[in-house]
Amino acid sequence: MPTETIPSPKGRLLLGHLPEFRSDPLACMSRWHRDFGDIVGFRLGLQRFYLLSHPDLAEQVLVEQPDVFVKMYDPDKPKGLQLVLGQGLVTSTGALWQRQRRLLQPVFQRRSVETMRPQMAATGEQWIRRWQMLAPGAEVDMAGEMMRLTLEVLTRTMFGTSVLHEVDAIAPALDTCLRHAARTTMNPFTPPLWVPTLANRQFRKSLAILDSVIYRMIEQRRKDGRIHDDLLDRMLSAADPETGTAMNVRQLRDEMLTIFTAGHETTANLMTWTLYWLARHPESQDKARAEAKAIANGSAAISEQPDRLVYTKAVLQESLRHRPPAGLVIRKLTRSTRLQDHALPAGSLVLVSIFNIHHHPALWDRPETFDPERFLGRKMDKYHFLPFGIGSRFCIGNHFATVETTLLLSMLIRHFRFELCTEQEPEIEMVVTVRPKGGLRLKISSVPES
């Protein structure tokens, strides 16, 4: 079979495409996809990358050849999210990953998640009371509010505690850590952590803040002695079936910080973007509100009738299509292989762009238009819609996130109207997750009960 040349944009001799990529990775990858097609080669310094933007390519990488395309994993030389999450579920591989996945899976099964609805609803009611104290038309940074809301839901359901009183320290610390993780993955010239640069010192300080929160949760639970029947209880009591040994403190820390980070950062971004789309499209907002009010029927029983929130779920799906929080999947080649008619060398990295697949003009009708109706009564084509990934590493928290966002969105939209503060579209930035740059302000006003 003849080998086709992989198209590539023109780069610089030593830096390759680093200057263009570093300025705005998401916009850069969207532009390359539009100009060069579904597979694009590029170079950051000496590291060779391949950008993949089609579901057939995603299937080959993430489903058909998982032994060839593997997670970047080196516990001795951590990079990217490994610097923050250690060897947690998102970053680990092999036997360790399989063991931890088996341990955590029961907590995220449908039956377990359903028992968490009352806590989710109680947190939603807390936010409703808080916002009802605002003046009509108050401008609120929705990104910050959703970060607080989803953090409260996660810590109450998974760890039996609240960290709202620490959120002003946690949020910037998490942001600093994620930005540093992204830099070490995409910029080969990032100095190693032992070099005392300002960025490295800020990262270490921020990581220490997150560690202090996690380690304190562990210590408090061990002293508590009561049964909580949550994720933390399960991790503290879990034992390796072969050796009988429990997780050490470092393993507990890695898994807790993984859930802590991945479990609310992505969900907060989804909620933020969804409220933005509803503010920009008031007709969709009115439909979602009418659905929530019809189901509640004068009560607060939305949490007991989730299957009836059909349009609300379509809104969330369309938001996930437009702004998938996890917009990129990175894998490293363990050996040379072929994708379609293209040869890829060992040691290179592939970037599967979920964002580009979700905006692919050959896969979606009017991909830049916000249209929840496209998800009503339609069976998704295989791998065209990948907000939670595919393959063996499909997101373990997909059902938790779906239940949480559907419930919270229906509660908030029932009680409040959301309007734009400006007609200018918010800038997008990708810092591990796809988020609105600099936050996202919306006007909110209470809606009279009817």
The Cα–Cα gap between 54 and 397 comes to 24
The Cα–Cα gap between 125 and 167 comes to 19
Structural contact between residues 186 and 43, judged by C-beta atoms closer than 8 angstroms: no
Domain 85-324+372-446: give its CATH superfamily: Cytochrome P450 (1.10.630.10)
CA-closest candidate to residue 90, choices 396, 295, 324: 396
Q: Which residues pair with 430 in a beta bridge?
A: 434
The Cα–Cα gap between 421 and 225 comes to 49
The pLDDT, as a whole number, for residue 72 is 81
Tokens coding 135: 């003046």
The pLDDT, as a whole number, for residue 302 is 60
Structural contact between residues 40 and 6, judged by C-beta atoms closer than 8 angstroms: yes
CA-closest candidate to residue 388, choices 56, 29, 58: 58
**HSE toward the beta carbon, residue 111, CA cutoff 13 A:** 2
DSSP 8-state secondary structure symbol assigned to residue 139:
E
DSSP 8-state secondary structure symbol assigned to residue 211:
H
The Cα–Cα gap between 411 and 149 comes to 13
Q: Hey, what amino acid is at 319?
A: S
Q: Hey, what amino acid is at 191?
A: P
Tokens coding 37: 């097609």
CA-closest candidate to residue 251, choices 218, 274, 220, 276: 218
- The H-or-E segment that residue 37 falls in is none
The pLDDT, as a whole number, for residue 2 is 52
The pLDDT, as a whole number, for residue 301 is 58
The pLDDT, as a whole number, for residue 304 is 60
3-state helix, strand, coil in the chain (%, to 5): 55, 15, 35
> Residue holding tokens 């993430």?
62
Instruction: Please provide the size of the chain in residues.
Output: 450
Domain boundaries, the chain: 85-324+372-446
Tell me the mean pLDDT per 10 residues along the chain, length 450: 79 91 93 97 94 96 92 79 90 86 84 89 94 95 96 91 89 92 85 90 96 92 84 81 79 91 91 98 97 74 71 97 94 93 93 97 96 90 92 90 95 96 92 91 90
45 φ/ψ sector (left φ>0, alpha ψ -120 to 50, else beta): left
The Cα–Cα gap between 206 and 50 comes to 32
CA-closest candidate to residue 287, choices 409, 379, 385, 405: 409
pLDDT digits (tens, 9 = 90+) for 275-312: 999 999 999 999 999 999 988 764 555 656 667 899 99
Q: How far apart are the first and last CA of the chain?
A: 67
- The H-or-E segment that residue 213 falls in is helix 198-224
246 φ/ψ sector (left φ>0, alpha ψ -120 to 50, else beta): beta
Using only the alpha carbons of the chain, give its radius of gyration: 22
Structural contact between residues 89 and 107, judged by C-beta atoms closer than 8 angstroms: no
CA-closest candidate to residue 231, choices 264, 261, 259: 259
The Cα–Cα gap between 27 and 8 comes to 16
Three-state SS annotation for 294-361: HHHCCCCHHHHCHHHCHHHHHHHHHHHHHCCCCCEEEEEECCCEEECCEEECCCCEEEEEHHHHHCCC
The pLDDT, as a whole number, for residue 406 is 95
**Packing angle of the helix pair 249-280, 198-224 (nearest 10 deg):** 110
